[in-house]
Amino acid sequence: MSAWAENLGVDNAEANDSEGLITFLGDPFGTLTTKLDMELTHSGPASVGIIGRCKRFALYAVNGEVKFVAVSEGEDDPAGDSDPSATMAPAVLDAILKLDKDEL
């Protein structure tokens, strides 16, 4: 995850780094993916050996309470590769701004 953050130019992206604005976390065993019910189970990726992949999703939580979830996927695009817009920053920020002030 550190290499990904470095490649994107994100500083202080390690867990528990109070200086960072974004934290990159891995899920090598799929534990969180399974708990969130975000495993990509479509037969397409599995047919080419991609097993246990996480769906493309964005989640906004405050103090452990999930306030917003978006998943980029389509019937013919289970991984959301063709249209990831629902999980990209503009859509997520728009959704956060639409929350009541009490939910922020």
Q: Determine if the pTM surpasses 0.85.
A: no
Query: CB–CB of 17/2 below 8 Å?
Result: no
Residue ranges of the domains in the chain? 1-27, 56-104
For residue 104, pLDDT over 70 is answered with no
What is residue 67's predicted lDDT score, i.e. its pLDDT? 93
The residues that bridge with 59 in the sheet, in sequence order, are 69
**Is 91 within 8 Å of 84 (Cβ atoms)?**
no
In tens, the pLDDT along 54-101 reads 899 999 988 889 999 999 998 888 888 899 999 999 999 999 999 977
Given a contact cutoff of 8 angstroms between Cβ atoms, the answer to whether 70 and 95 are in contact is: yes
Task: Check whether 11 has a pLDDT greater than 90.
Answer: no
Average pLDDT over residues 25-32: 88
Q: What does the pLDDT average to over 14-25?
A: 82
Instruction: Check if the beta carbon of residue 40 is closer than 8 Å to that of residue 79.
Output: yes
